[in-house]
Structure 1
Amino acid sequence: MHEIDAIDRKIIRQLRLDARISNVDLGKVVGLSPSACHRRIALMEKAGIITGYTALTDMTAGAPSIAVIIQITLERQTEEYLNRFELAVRKFPEIRECLLMTGLSDYVLRVDVENALEFERIHKEILSVLPGVLRINSNFAIRNVLADRRVAARPED
């Protein structure tokens, strides 16, 4: 198990700001050599701390896209039901995000669609067949006010 220290947290913070930063530039920011940065990143990837990299896109630049936020309530909140649901959700690339929640819903999902017809297909072929689902509540986003995965630096770092 890899224990995260202050330098690892700085590396993670910088990668969240810019996952394409070079090891040379990353090293300058966190105070390490490029090879030491590379080693630490590799260790965090191997330990499952860093699980992947992604690109943020401007959805208005390409095909029109509508974000649909879906609240899911399961029949039961047992470990078995949660695990079955989460395993099934991972099989569908249409589901962009899946968050386990507290409150009224058990999960919140996000899918991006071009129109209501595409969402209808996703609802029929994916959402309605997910295991253990009691209730599905979907909301179409009007406009994305803030889409940013960057994490602000904390004052103590």
Structure 2
Amino acid sequence: MAPRSIDYGNLMHDAMRSLIRRVLSDVEANGLPGEHHFFITFDTMHPDVEIADWLSDRYPGEMTVVMQHWYDGLDVAEDGFSVTLNFGDSPEPLYIPFDAIRTFVDPSVEFGLRFETQEEDDEPDADMVEIDDTDDGDAPAPEKRDAEIVSLDKFRK
């Protein structure tokens, strides 16, 4: 029988997803405060992601959405959230499970989370999140800033 050990990596992922759930639940109840806004990058191929076919065709693998000026119907559940976002004057409903999220960034306060996966172990640790190819309708391009990133690689065996 193998010795029991504490899986800090998965515990950190659970804590980070809980933080995102709490933030989005607060936004659901009270709206986005001040200049806060979110860049959320997620795995479009995750089996529980629900997005329009044209979006999954355009973003095979990964997509970044922006919650800032216009969003509607934010509904936060235990395992994920649904929201309607505007893509070039076309409102589209999305469902994003929390375990499909790869990065969650709030550039207004230089905060960011990155979920590392086992397959990425050979890549160097990231010290910032760079957001490209966002399409949130008529919103101006946000100012890019460095973000604090929590890397879980140091907790893995």
Q: TM-score, normalized by length of structure 2?
A: 0.25
Q: TM-score, normalized by length of structure 1?
A: 0.25
Q: Return the index of the structure with the highest Cα Rg.
A: 1
Greater share of residues in helix? 1
